[in-house]
Amino acid sequence: MKEDQPYLESSYWLPSRKELLDWFQLNAPSLGEIYRGAVQFLNEEPPIVGRSHFICHAVREIRNNLPNFISGHRVTILQYKNRIDAIAADALLPGGPYDLWKKGETSRRVKDLTGSFAQLPHLPKMLKAKAVLDTLVEGCVQGYFVLRLQRPDKSVRTWWMSRPDDIALDDPALELWLSEAAELHELQHDLLAPHRLPSMWTANEIRFKDVMRYFSGTGTVQVQKNGYTESIHVPKAKSEVVERALFQAIEKGLVWLLSGPASILGEPVPPGILNEDSSLCPPPAPISVTEILPENIPSGWKDNECTALAVSTALSVKAGKTLPWKIIQGLLTSALRARFIEMVDGSAPWPSDFAQAQHVRFRLAKTGIAPHVSEALPTQVLVAEGELDSHEVQNLGDVVGKLFELKAKRSTPIKIKVRIEVGDGKTLPPATVVEEFNKVLQNVKEGLGLK
């Protein structure tokens, strides 16, 4: 061990670490520098920002190259200080290794930051010119930064925990703000979905005032990053910004609002409903159509008849919360289509709004056909439904490939379900006829048949 190594006097340089460093300096000097730096990063206080990233890179470099030194093979080691192809988002924060921020600075133009690595001699040169921009965008998605764009009409767009569109990224006016200093003028509604943002949904039912406290601009949250925990600041957002995003999330069916007697999901929120004590919940679990039958909600039926209001009340009591009218509408409509129930003569029209629910009357179907429902109907799925003629079925077959191309391109689930009805709804077809139909259907898919 050399005598001119005062850093080895630190208490964390245990004998085993010194012995390993001596071996590196003798047999693999370049790896010795990396090992020494990793040990110092790991133990010295205060810790530098993103030190876990640097230590992980050091371990990977030693692991990849140590076998070559042991075997005697000559290797060329990439000089990270001169040319790199990627950087970690948190390395661009103030206090990071690249010295990109002046003291007290809280925002910078994105075009200036991306140009710094090509213009300033003390910064590493990027193998890919777009890599810095990609890193800034990823930092926004991870919550380190807020991206802000003021348009010519003085309106402002902001992104946090989300990815801006390409048009915004190409705008030279786009700014990057530190999250602790930024104010959100826009909040993407899907961020308010249950358990989307770290530490906002601390339970399955939260209050609107909890959401406003989250966006007060004074808090930090802990997030998991590659096996370790890091703190990020939550930017400030005014009440009207959060309300606007929340109303969109409710209308899109992502968040269920309960406020007094009101229960809203999948439809616009009427004015005056939301207050600081309003409850926010995940959408209810899918409810099977069979749940509306008398054996499951006897209190909702009388003499084999029920009203839409009685079904809504009985199911809500069973659930322990007032269910959204949109859910009840969907269940009753599905039950009608599946021929569990039918309209009573003289009933108010269906579908209807909640105000007319007490006047909409149903009874158990008397068709003699045993209805079949294969599964609970999901509430957060869009459905294209219609009765097709033979040539329209062929048209559907022609576009199925394009539908599944869209599924792959947009990473959006899609299911195609087929319902074939045989009979007039009054008398079941003869068994011989059913058998003939089933023989044909077996050529489509094994197990597909009339039941």
312 has pLDDT over 90:
yes
Cα pseudo-dihedral 274, 277, 281, 283, rounded to 10: -30
> What pLDDT score was predicted for residue 378?
55
- Tell me the pLDDT band of 108, cut-offs 50, 70 and 90: very high
Alpha carbon separation from 195 to 160, 251, 413 (Å, rounded): 16, 18, 20
Q: Is 193 helix (H, G, I), strand (E, B) or coil?
A: coil
User: Which residue, among 363, 384, 365, has the nearest Cα to 373 in the 3D structure?
Assistant: 365
415 has pLDDT over 90:
no
pLDDT digits 0-9 by tens, 70-88: 766 544 444 444 445 567 7
Pairing mode of beta strands 175-178, 145-150: antiparallel
1 has pLDDT over 50:
no
Amino acid symbol at 70: I
Mean pLDDT of 152-162: 93
Percent of the chain with pLDDT over 70: 89
Range among 216-230, 240-254, 395-409 with highest mean pLDDT value: 240-254
> What pLDDT score was predicted for residue 380?
64
If one counts every other C-beta atom within 10 angstroms of the C-beta of residue 158, the result is 24
b/e 222-238 (16+ beta carbons within 10 angstroms → b): eeebeeeebebbbbbbe
Mean pLDDT of 144-161: 93
Mean pLDDT of the chain: 85
Rounded CA separation 403/417 (Å): 14
Q: Which residues contact 299 (CB under 8 A, 6 or more apart)?
A: 310, 313, 314, 317
> What pLDDT score was predicted for residue 30?
84
Mean pLDDT of 260-280: 95
Q: Which residues contact 221 (CB under 8 A, 6 or more apart)?
A: 197, 198, 199, 200, 231, 232, 234
Supply the DSSP string of 264-324, one letter for each residue: ESSSPPPTT---TT-EEEPPPPPB-GGGGSTTT-GGG-BTTEEEHHHHHHHHHHHHTS---
Percent of the chain with pLDDT over 90: 45
> What pLDDT score was predicted for residue 86?
61
Say what the pTM is. 0.63
Mean pLDDT of 390-399: 79
Mean pLDDT of 107-115: 88
User: Which residue, among 364, 340, 335, 365, has the nearest Cα to 350 in the 3D structure?
Assistant: 335
